[in-house]
Structure 1
Amino acid sequence: QEEVDRPEDLAKIPTLTLGDLDRTIRMLPTDESDLFGARLMHHDLPTLGILYLDLGFDLKVLEPALLPYLPLFGRALLQTGTSKEDFVSLTQRIGRTTGGISQHRSLATRLDNDETAAWFFLSGKSVPAKFGEMLDIMGEVLLDARLDNKERIRQMALEEKAGFEARMIPAGNSIVDTRLKAGLTEASWAAEQLGGVSYLNFLRDLVKRIDSDWAGVEATFRRIRDVLFNRKGMVVNLTADASLFADTRDALASFVEGLPQSDAVAHDWGFAAEPKSEGLVIPAQVNYVGKGANLKALGYEASAASAVVLRFLNTTYLWDKVRVQGGAYGGSSRFDLSSGNFSFLSYRDPNLLKTLDVYDGAAKALRAGIGETDLTRSIIGVIGDADRPEFVDSKGYSAMWRILTGTTDAIRQQRRDEILGASQKDFSALADALDVLAEKGHVVVLGGETAIKAANDQRPGLMEVSKVM
């Protein structure tokens, strides 16, 4: 077991080649039409007799001050009951009638205009015989949830706060990533308002205001509902066989027609790119060290081939330097092709400045070159991620989300071509961008006070320090 395998023996193991990979993207059917002012998308896919429905509402109609309320607002729709039944009864009814009803939010930078795609979704699935009943439940949840249920909403706020604080250490690298990018693009700023350190601070204040100013809190929840749930401009996304769609279209049309309609105005959230370096103090013996920037703003011409470069960087240089030699539990880099946001991240890291130095040395590592075998393996790995199997409901949702973010099939094919054609020049191009990031990028560290103070002492002004917990 300890003997090193000979190259000639390794060469006998069957492996994929680039010639084994599909050159073209997988396309999904999408039919679009108008449904009483709503944008209807239907995906004719074999669903084995199940209808998958997503109702989407544009968050840009909300003032920016309302965004932090959305996680609790979404929970309140499904967990406060309605005027007809309490929370327990509603939950049991959903279980009897449907395959589940859920809510979530999605945020991204659009590809066609660099604006923000920000949507609230209520999703459900049912068999055809129960589709009408599912629509009834969804309608009641959207328009009749007990937003005046003070005790339940206080309980949920306390749960949210406690849950976030409990996740602070296990999910420290994600929290750093969210905070790092909040000053780079509007979509990332909104994500931090909905699930970052800013959201935690909001929850701490909200818990107090529920007792001191419940009338104001309730009025805010009601305002979100009144403004957000508007069939004009909403998206109705249905994934089902054509025959099922034909049988249920009338019920769906009647449901949409019954929703409120008004002329909603998209708000300017007033975002301005203001990245800053921060040290976020928590009671921990390890650190989560991040450094990043928006590479588009630094002049990098984004290519999907960057995914190949990052895969190699993550599995070689960062693995060796941050995890193996540095002693951290993990080290990685992330790049969002749509926004241009790039970040280096470490997980449960005993170091701080040493890790930042590793990040700054990444460009040199990329310029060292890559062998054809490693390049092929990295390309195959990226294509494998892109072609990962999806459940049929996820296929329909993904097709809708690509439309909402301006990700056309032509762009998808271009990206695939760039991945399959990745070469050393792509490594050099990203290396040039990371050289600029090393100089101009900003730092966010979540960790112990001693380590953050020591880093600031060695490099004065490195981080603006604040206590999170």
Structure 2
Amino acid sequence: FSEMAQRIDAFTGGVGLSANPRTGFGDSARCLPLVALTSKSLVRNLDPMFDILAELLGESVFSDTGRLRTLLLEYRAGLEGMVVQNGHRLAMSLAARRFSRARALSEDWSGVHQLKDVKRLLEDLSDARLGELVGDLARVGSTVWDRSRFQMAVVGERAAVTRAGELAGSTLSAIGGGAAETPAGPENGFPGDRLREGWSTESAVNFVAAAFPTVRLEHADSAALAVIAKLLRSLYLHREIREKGGAYGGFALYSSEDGVFSLASYRDPHIIATLNVFDGAFGFLRGGGFSETDVKEAILQVCSEIDKPDPPGPAARKAFFRRVIGLSDAIRERFKQRLIALSRREVMTAAEQYFGGGLNQCSVAVIGSEEKLREANAKLPEPLELFKI
């Protein structure tokens, strides 16, 4: 392991691996559970970089149970550390996990449920249990590292890309192949039942989230929802949650890929007051507490995110992943045109359609101390179901 780490440091700018469930565009709109392997190097180090990738893909061995035990303990510590650091994102993930297969997988792979699974796994670190885990990891690796499923992109100058393409072919030949692709099934059963949950941990502050399903990027109302998220954050949530409530931040996010709208607070001293603010957001929108100028400013904020310039490398990687999930330039251009032409009246119409049910239409998840959650439950008309992280 130390030798491989030294080679990675010597010949590359890093090697990364991540699991990211995505939702495809087009007629199927199916879940795409992706595993992304990334690396970069100077042109002179292309050969050793691809040698490293071939070895990682084709010769991975998990039999060193001592090292495996250490990695698992480090992984758990990292997951535990992110609870307070990224509590608002974890709460949003919990609240939205029943709205699509990709959201459910994302929660299982990188949310609170991943931490609970790892804790459960580490309850038994005996050699026998670790031996079973070694076999499980080997089976997962042989399934995931299958060249019939690989899609690869090489980014660089023309001569370097030509050489990298040749090396990529030899790298893929080093791993197994031939298994038929098994895409995730249709989105049956989503969105699921509304949930109201409280998750307790050692924290002096709370992270409150509410989420509900809307429509995706291809829909005519997607541009209005993106603008509504900006209006809520700048004109309402910042004032009510941060300035009046004392939280570090208040957020409104519209995910056009999944069609999920979320509200959240960060490092929040309150629970009930924040839920009341979330409920009031629906009244704020339906009451039209924003002007045509506010709408235009929100449109510019969304446009700035779409048109934000990226260096060539990151821009190419983003384009590659858009191709993987089927997000065409035509879909993006139609969204941009709807966005630019958006009026206050259209925003009001969308607010009436998607925000009419108030907090009753939302799933709610709160992360905080057990004491604070129980205090809130004693006053809430619809108590939270309590769990421990």
Given the two structures, how large is their TM-score scaled by the length of structure 2? 0.91
Q: CA deviation at 1:225?
A: 1.0
Q: Answer yes or no: is the 8 Å Cα contact 2:87–2:367 preserved in 1.
A: yes
Higher helix share: 2
Matched, 1:339 2:258: yes
Structure-2 change in CA distance of 1:276 and 1:95 (3 Å): same
> For 1:209 and 1:364, how far apart are their aligned partners in 2?
51
Instruction: Supply the distance in 1 between the matched residues of 2:332 and 2:196 (Cα, whole angstroms).
Output: 34
Match among 283, 287, 295 for residue 375 of structure 1: 295
Deviation at 1:242? Answer: 2.7
Cα distance 1:391–1:461, how it changes in 2: closer, same or farther (>3 A)? same
- Structure 1, unpaired ranges of 5+: 1-86
Pick one of 410, 424, 438 that aligns with 2:359: 438
In the TM superposition, 1:80-119 aligns within 5 A as 87-112=1-26, 113-119=28-34
- Quick one: which of 248, 266, 281 aligns to 1:362? 281
The one-letter code matched in structure 1 to 2:159 is S
Output the CA distance in 2 between the equivalents of 1:165 and 1:135.
34
Post-superposition offset of 1:388: 1.8
2: CA distance, partners of 1:332 / 1:129: 45
Aligned to 1:352: 271
Aligned match of 1:287: 206
CA contact (8 A) 2:148 2:181 kept: no
Amino acid at match of 2:360: E
Q: CA deviation at 1:89?
A: 1.3
Equivalenced residue count is 380
The question of whether the paired residues in 1 share the 8 Å contact of 2:63 and 2:134 is answered with yes
The correspondence for 1:218, drawn from 117, 134, 137, is 134
CA distance in 1, matches of 2:58, 2:166: 21
Partner of 1:24: none
| Partner Cα distance (1:406, 1:429) in 2 | 29
- Contact 1:291–1:344 (CA under 8 A) maintained in structure 2: yes
Q: Does 1:415 align with 2:335?
A: yes
Shift of residue 230, structure 1, vs aligned partner: 1.0
1:447 partner amino acid? G
Alignment of 1:118-197 (within 5 A): 118-197=33-112
Contact in 1 for aligned 2:245/2:270 (Cα 8 Å): yes
Task: Return closer, same or farther for 1:257/1:174 CA change in 2, 3 Å cut-off.
Answer: same
2 CA distance for matches of 1:358 and 1:387? 32
Cα separation, 1, equivalents of 2:349 and 2:203: 37
Output the CA distance in 2 between the equivalents of 1:163 and 1:259. Answer: 30
Following TM superposition, the consecutive aligned residue runs of length 4 or more in structure 1 with deviations greater than 4 angstroms are 267-271
1:247, 1:301 → 2: CA distance?
44
Contact 1:302 1:340 (C-alpha < 8 Å) held by counterparts: no
1:259 and 2:179 are equivalent in the alignment: no
Please state how far the C-alpha of 1:322 moved relative to its aligned partner: 1.1
**2:364 aligned with 1:448:** no
**In 2, distance between residues paired with 1:208 and 1:374?**
53
- CA distance in 2 between counterparts of 1:228 and 1:456 reads 44
Q: Which residue of 1 aligns with 2:156?
A: 240
- Is 2:202–2:368's contact at 8 Å kept on the other side of the alignment? yes
Cα deviation code 1:263-310 (max 9, x no counterpart): 23416579744342101112333211111111249xx96412322221
The one-letter code sitting in structure 1 at the alignment partner of 2:162 is A
- Conservation of the 8 A alpha-carbon contact between 1:360 and 1:435: no
State the alpha-carbon separation in 1 of the partners of residues 315 and 326 from structure 2.
Answer: 17
**Counterpart residue identity of residue 8, structure 2:** I
* Distance 1:278-1:171 versus aligned 2 partners, 3 A rule: same
Q: Distance in 1 between matches of 2:223 and 2:324?
A: 20
The residue type paired with residue 107 of structure 1 is: P
Letter in 1 for 2:147: R
C-alpha change, 1:272 and 1:168, in structure 2 (3 Å) is same
Alignment gaps of 5+ in structure 2:
none
TM-score normalized by structure 1?
Answer: 0.76
Q: Deviations over 1:372-394 (max 9, x none)?
A: 33222222222112222212221
Q: Does 1:314 align with 2:233?
A: yes
Q: Is the 8 A contact 2:207 2:366 kept in 1?
A: yes
Residue of structure 1 in register with 2:244 after alignment: 325
CA RMSD of aligned residues (A): 2.1
Q: Which of 272, 277, 297 is residue 196 of structure 2 equivalent to?
A: 277
**Deviation of the 1:239 alpha carbon:** 1.1
- For residues 142 and 439 of structure 1, what CA distance do their matches in structure 2 show? 48
Task: Note if 1:207 corresponds to 2:122.
Answer: yes
- Report the equivalent of 1:403: 323
Paired residue for 2:378, among 449, 452, 457? 457
